[in-house]
Amino acid sequence: MSLKEHLEEAKKLYQKALEEFERAREKNDGTVLRDACGKGWLSTIEATNALLVKKGIEDEALPKAERGRRYMVFKYGDKELRLLYLSLRDSLHIQGYYDGTLNFDEMEEYLNDLNLYIRKIEELKVGEKLFHEHD
């Protein structure tokens, strides 16, 4: 996938997460909320892939597992992106999807964080240096 395609997919999945979140809230349905968390996490992964492609990583070399993604985000992301990524992983992926412990108010905040994460990555210039030694 190209950089543009990763960003488009991240935005599409974000919109799906928002739609499922609204449906979950209307029905007060925790299972649908978990689905929204799953879509949100997939959006995070696509946005992260876009970040890495912007940093010069070939699409074929993008990490396939969480451990590799986390390593790459820490290598190529600034402090704000690293913190957002870890927060989204813990909230959407672990607490929301796996544990099912997020409530609707928390989920709304994390979806706002996801939107910020996508926008921050989208605003970066290709090849822009992000890593700061003293972050």
The pTM of this model reads 0.91
For the chain, the residue count is 135
Gyration radius (Cα) of the chain, Å: 15
- With H, G, I as helix, E, B as strand and everything else as coil, classify residue 77: coil
Query: What letters, b where the CB count within 10 A reaches 16 and e where it falls short, cover 50-81?
Result: bbbbbbebeeeebbeeeeebbebbeebbeeeb
Q: Where are the domains of the chain?
A: 3-123
Per-residue pLDDT of the chain (135 residues; tens, 9 = 90+): 999 999 999 999 999 999 999 999 999 999 999 999 999 999 999 999 999 999 999 999 999 999 999 999 999 999 999 999 999 999 999 999 999 999 999 999 999 999 999 999 999 987 665 554 334
H-state helical runs in the chain:
3-27, 30-54, 66-76, 79-88, 104-123
Report the CATH architecture of 3-123: Up-down Bundle (1.20)
CA distance 54 to 76: 10
In angstroms, the first-to-last Cα distance of the chain is: 31
